[in-house]
Amino acid sequence: MKTLVIGTGGREHALVLALAADPAVTEVHAAPGNPGMAAVATLHGVDPMSGSDVADLAERVGADLVVVGPEAPLVAGVADAVRARGIAVFGPSGSAARLEGSKAFSKDVMAAAGVPTAGARTCDGPEEVAAALDAFGPPYVVKDDALAAGKGVVVTRDRDEAVAHAALCTSRDGGRVVVEEFLDGPEVSLFAICDGTTAHALQPAQDFKRIFDGGRGPNTGGMGSYTPLTWARPDLAEVVLAEVVRPTLAEMQRRGAPFVGCLYVGLALTASGPRVIEFNVRFGDPDVQPVLAVLGSPLGTLLAAAADGRLTDVPPPSFRDGAAVTVVLASAGYPESSSKGDVITGVEAAGAEPGVDVIHAGTALDGDRLVTAGGRVLAVRALGSDVADARARAYAAADRISFPGLQRRSDIAAEPLGVVEGASVTDG
Ligand code: AMP
Ligand code: GLY
């Protein structure tokens, strides 16, 4: 099987590594890719937002399976363009990707499917916003309806801050916000591999979203992650498949937009059970990185079965004993800004440690020197016998890497911190 991965980040590098490890996969191509992927994949230039360019490339390399990593091309319909050429693609159609592309749409689907989630109201003006804020009370949760690259959500006890964020979002043409009930409890990421009608769950993981230790500071794309969640109920994945994923797949089918790809269920484990915080239509980054490290089943075979609508032909994925931890190394200024061109050292030494992969997220080559080229620069992922062992190995390897302005958290997977962090609230 020849595979083509679309994207440039850590998620795509981790996917490329896992695909390359599948004996059924004969070639791994990536576009646009990054310097880390070049070790295991053939890189190609492409505009990931152009369906016809991606489909042309897939034809040119003879891809049997295309995996579209990020949400923006999926929402733009890139998977439809590839599918229209008769090439199998793991990733939802543009209409199914609205589960992530529009918070209001996803809330509507959840309501119709009876999925447990926060109560919510969609608002397009200040009076509606004020009424909704007062109906739910503090802490206030205000979400931009549109894709906002992780910056669209404000969770705060400060009513003025909530009103100001809503005003900013609704001031744009057609701008709407979703105001919702605050969900109290640790957050968990559950990835469901879906073929339109059936789904297999991957092992749950946890992502550390804030920039600073102890869950302080602004939200980021994710500063680290780990699996398994030894503290969570052992039937969590099964419960989420039954209460969330299968009803959602049925509702999407009923609407004529069957969901094929990764349904990323962001959950809060509240006192009254798991509640959906959000749906995404792709793997989480870095949340999926440790999950792929412990995946015991061949990834290409699994994703190809989903893309072909025959997931029932493959067994549910298995997972190795032990644990994996990923620690993200970010550049100066992240998440408000990022720093480019700083020289990175120590990547080879870190990657030579047993069970460690150095995953590239925002790197570039300047001549033959590896330099920073984004907010999240690298992710150091380690396998271990348990979470504490994997964590120690990840940090020992990460200690070998340096670049000017390097930022990282020191408490990734230091349980029970991840448990208490939950949904962090800013005080305004
Ligand atoms: P989202 O983009 O919807 O994932 O939201 C980003 C972050 O905001 C989540 O990871 C949560 O930490 C927080 N959040 C979103 N919705 C809620 C909610 N209803 N209750 C508590 N926290 C929330
Ligand atoms: N780590 C969160 C995300 O991928 O959205």
Ligand 1 contacts CB of residue 90 (under 6 A): no
Q: Is 285 in the pocket of ligand 2 (CB under 6 A)?
A: yes
Ligand 1 pocket residue status of 425, Cβ below 6 Å: no
Please report the atom of ligand 2 found closest to the CA of residue 209.
Answer: 1
Write the residue with the smallest CA distance to atom 4 of ligand 2. 284
CA of 241 to the centre of ligand 2 (A): 20
DSSP 197-262: S-EEEPPPBEE--EEEGGGEEEE-S-SEEEE--TTS-TTHHHHHIIIIIHHHHHHHHHTT---EEE
Is 46 strand, coil or helix?
Answer: coil
Determine the CATH number of domain 184-299+315-320.
3.30.470.20
Tokens 């699996």 map to which residue? 227
Distance CA 375, CA 342 (A): 12
Q: Is the CB of 266 under 6 A from ligand 1?
A: yes
Ligand 1 pocket, 269 CB below 6 A? Answer: no
Query: 2-94 and 119-180 share one CATH topology?
Result: no
CA 154 to ligand 1 center in whole angstroms: 8
131 alpha carbon – ligand 2 mean position (Å): 30
In CATH terms, the superfamily for domain 119-180 is ATP-grasp fold, A domain (3.30.1490.20)
423 CA to centre of ligand 1 in angstroms = 7
Atom of ligand 2 nearest to the CA of 225: 1
Instruction: Give residue for tokens 């004993």.
Output: 321
Q: Which residues pair with 132 in a beta bridge?
A: none
Counting atoms of ligand 2 from 1, which one is nearest the CA of 222?
A: 1
Q: Residues 321-415: name the CATH superfamily.
A: Phosphoribosylglycinamide synthetase, C-terminal domain (3.90.600.10)
Atom of ligand 2 nearest to the CA of 286: 1
Domain range summary for the chain, segments of one domain joined by +: 2-94, 119-180, 184-299+315-320, 321-415
For ligand 2, what atom is nearest to the CA of residue 150?
5
- Asked if residue 284 has its Cβ within 6 Å of ligand 2, the reply is yes
Distance CA(207)–CA(89), nearest Å, equals 27
CB atoms within 10 A of CB 425: 18
Q: What class, spelled out in words, does domain 2-94 have in CATH?
A: alpha beta
Residue type, 383: L
Q: Rounded CA gap, 60 and 23, in Å?
A: 23
pLDDT tens, position by position, for the chain (428 residues)? 999 999 999 999 999 999 999 999 999 999 999 999 999 999 999 999 999 999 999 999 999 999 999 999 999 999 999 999 999 999 999 999 999 998 889 999 999 999 999 999 999 899 999 999 999 999 999 998 877 665 688 899 999 999 999 999 888 888 899 999 999 999 999 999 999 999 999 999 999 999 999 989 988 999 999 999 999 999 999 999 999 999 999 999 999 999 999 999 999 999 999 999 999 999 999 999 999 999 999 999 999 999 999 999 999 999 999 999 999 999 999 999 998 999 999 999 999 999 999 999 999 999 999 999 999 999 999 999 999 999 999 999 999 999 999 999 999 999 654 454 545 565 43
Give the global pTM.
0.94
Return the HEC string of 297-364.
CCHHHHHHHHHCCCHHHCCCCCECCCEEEEEEEECCCCCCCCEEEEECECHHHHHCCCCEEEEECCEE
